[in-house]
């Protein structure tokens, strides 16, 4: 029988932070003061935690042979033998059922988004992840699905600014992750040890190319957010939050390019105090401006 910790690890709970994107709808629409809407938004987060858990299990089943030869991924429950493939598949079905049950409580729109998210990610695990650029676009699409699920849950239309910022920021993180993976594989060769079998798509990228992609996406993320603070909101006081967005993105670039991090964006989010501080200060300022009336005259 598979162990309970093994089954829970299949869901990669550490990566559930990305599902907080589902809260974007209630946060940016100004409905965060409504307990009813907050509950619906959190239900969307829970549904995506289950849906993403299903995706991770399917991915680990398909990649189990490659993972067994990877220095860190070999400890994953399926690759290590802690959970058998049949047990993992049964658990995947149960987790998917939970996701659909939660989604059905939010309406057919959210349910359809969860189904589309699962289908696209199965296609990703089955081969799309080996196509350059397509792999990053699918990752970004996952965040767009989360935005739409969160906005549908609270019955608001997603802002074009929110969608654009999410797209560019997700691409930035995806390309930063690929760069870190190339650095990891290159370090194995330089250290005279066997390079771990990594993503096949990495052979279609190089560091210089990924640096350009990261810089372009970082620029677009900052520019889109800065324009939003001026044109996308009636109160231009939001412009004072822009330096914190710039700080967070620049800090992430520093970690990727100078310290060779970025292979696990969720870890950076949970451990880097500078990025945490930038996010916390940004959230406090945004709340103060949009919910509590903080105003600074800006022409």
Distance CA 228, CA 68 (A): 46
Same domain (yes/no): 299, 180: yes
Same domain (yes/no): 163, 216: yes
Same domain (yes/no): 93, 200: no
Are the C-beta atoms of 211 and 232 separated by less than 8 Å?
no
Tokens of 27: 């946060």
Same domain (yes/no): 167, 150: no
The range of the structural domain enclosing residue 295 comes to: 159-299
Please report, in angstroms and rounded to a whole number, the separation of the first and last CA atoms in the chain: 66
pLDDT class of 195 with cuts at 50, 70, 90:
very low
Are the C-beta atoms of 154 and 29 separated by less than 8 Å?
yes
Report the CATH number that the domain containing residue 94 is assigned in CATH.
Answer: 1.10.357.140
pLDDT class of 187 with cuts at 50, 70, 90:
low
Same domain (yes/no): 4, 149: yes
Same domain (yes/no): 121, 168: no
Phi/psi at 42 (nearest 5 deg)? -65, -30
Distance CA 143, CA 3 (A): 31
Pick from 153, 122, 124, 125: nearest CA to 38: 153
Same domain (yes/no): 82, 27: yes
Domain count of the chain? 2
pTM equals 0.92
Domain boundary among 106, 141, 158: 158
Higher-confidence residue: 270 or 249?
A: 249
Express each pLDDT in 137-151 by its tens digit: 999 999 999 999 999
């Amino acid at each position: 029988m598979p162990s309970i910790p093994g089954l829970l690890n299949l869901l990669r709970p550490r990566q559930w932070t990305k599902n907080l994107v589902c809260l974007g709808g209630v946060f940016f629409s100004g409905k965060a003061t409504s307990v009813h809407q907050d509950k619906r938004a959190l239900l969307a987060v829970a549904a995506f935690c289950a849906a993403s858990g299903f995706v991770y299990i399917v991915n680990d089943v398909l990649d189990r042979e490659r993972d067994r030869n990877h220095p860190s991924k070999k400890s994953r429950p399926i690759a290590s033998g802690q959970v058998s493939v049949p047990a993992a598949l049964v658990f995947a079905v149960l987790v998917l059922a939970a996701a659909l049950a939660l989604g059905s409580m939010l309406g057919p729109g959210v349910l359809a988004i969860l189904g589309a998210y699962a289908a696209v990610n199965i296609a990703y695990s089955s081969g799309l992840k080996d196509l350059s650029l397509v792999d990053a676009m699918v990752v970004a699409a996952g965040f767009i699905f989360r935005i739409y699920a969160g906005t549908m849950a609270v019955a608001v239309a997603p802002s074009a600014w929110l969608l654009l910022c999410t797209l560019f920021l997700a691409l930035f993180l995806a390309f930063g992750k690929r760069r870190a993976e190339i650095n990891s594989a290159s370090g194995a060769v330089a250290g005279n040890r066997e390079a771990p079998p990594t993503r096949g798509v990495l052979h279609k990228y190089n560091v210089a190319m990924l640096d350009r992609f990261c810089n372009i996406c970082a620029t677009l993320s900052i520019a889109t957010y800065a324009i939003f603070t001026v044109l996308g909101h009636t109160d231009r006081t939001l412009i004072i939050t822009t330096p914190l967005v710039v700080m967070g993105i620049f800090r992430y670039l520093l970690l990727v390019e100078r310290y060779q991090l970025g292979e696990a964006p969720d870890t950076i989010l949970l451990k880097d105090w500078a990025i945490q501080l930038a996010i916390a200060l940004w959230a406090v300022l945004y709340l103060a401006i949009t919910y509590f009336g903080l105003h600074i005259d800006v022409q």
